[in-house]
Chain A
């Protein structure tokens, strides 16, 4: 029973398209996150979402937007995809922002061509 699940696992799309990545957690956590991992394996937080409080990393382009229909879901929507958006995107969740119980999803490899 997967704790944090992401779909799709792989996503190949053309420049300019709009795409979404879904994330669901069944841990009862109240905070969810999106991370971007680049080709050098560097992990950088994009968003955290806690009980309707959204904290955005200021370096994230506004083409990226998180959408949370409920506490167990945090989807990532990307508009007008660019080549530089190619990366692995990880969803994560925790019980309290930044604290114990941090659990990652298995990642979505996005390739923009």
Chain B
């Protein structure tokens, strides 16, 4: 089955810093989404981004489907950005496969 990898596994930032999270997937997909799990465990859908670039406030995401990767950019990070960021892809005709996540800690 499809493999989804994320890097880095852990990231510590000072408040105000920028960061880039990467997601690689091993096969063609027809859906790619980014999720944030906050420190209280709630999973929030950030982006539905099978291709191209989208922006939502300080967050933006880019997926290059032909090269099988997606990037999540966080600018001017805040302590509320802490948590685990997951990318998840959907191989044709199947359900979501989640990556292992990037654990982000933003320090005040």
Q: Say yes or no: A55 contacts B98, CB within 8 Å.
A: no
Contacts of A102 in B (CB 8 A): 33, 35, 45, 48, 96
With a CB–CB cut-off of 8 A, which chain B residues contact A42? 98, 100-101
Q: Out of B43, B90, B101, which one reaches A104, CB within 8 Å?
A: B43
Number of interface residues of A (CB under 8 A): 23
In the bound complex, what is the Cα–Cα distance between A92 and B84 (angstroms)? 18
B41 in the interface, Cβ–Cβ < 8 Å? yes
Cβ 8 A contact of B96, one of A40, A98, A103, A107: A98
From B33, B42, B86, B90, A43 is in contact (CB under 8 Å) with: B86
Q: Does B37 contact A (CB under 8 A)?
A: yes
Residues from chain A with Cβ under 8 Å of B86 in the complex:
43
A90 and B48 contacting across the interface, CB-CB below 8 Å = no
Q: Beta-carbon contacts of B92-108 to A below 8 Å, as 1s and 0s?
A: 00111110110100000
Q: Is A45's CB within 8 Å of the partner chain B?
A: yes
> Complex: how many Å from CA A57 to CA B37?
23
Q: Say yes or no: B31 contacts A41, CB within 8 Å.
A: no
**A55, B88: Cα distance in complex, Å:** 18
Across the interface, do B31 and A98 meet the contact criterion of CB distance under 8 Å?
Answer: yes
Q: How far is the CA of A67 from the CA of B103 in the complex (A)?
A: 34
- Report chain B residues within 8 Å CB of A103: 45
A13 on interface, CB distance cutoff 8 Å: no
A88–B41 CB distance below 8 A: yes
Interface residues of A (CB under 8 A from B): 33, 40-45, 48, 55, 57, 88, 90, 92, 97-104, 106-107
| Chain B interface residues (CB < 8 Å from chain A) | 31, 33, 35, 37, 41-45, 48, 84, 86, 88, 90, 94-98, 100-101, 103
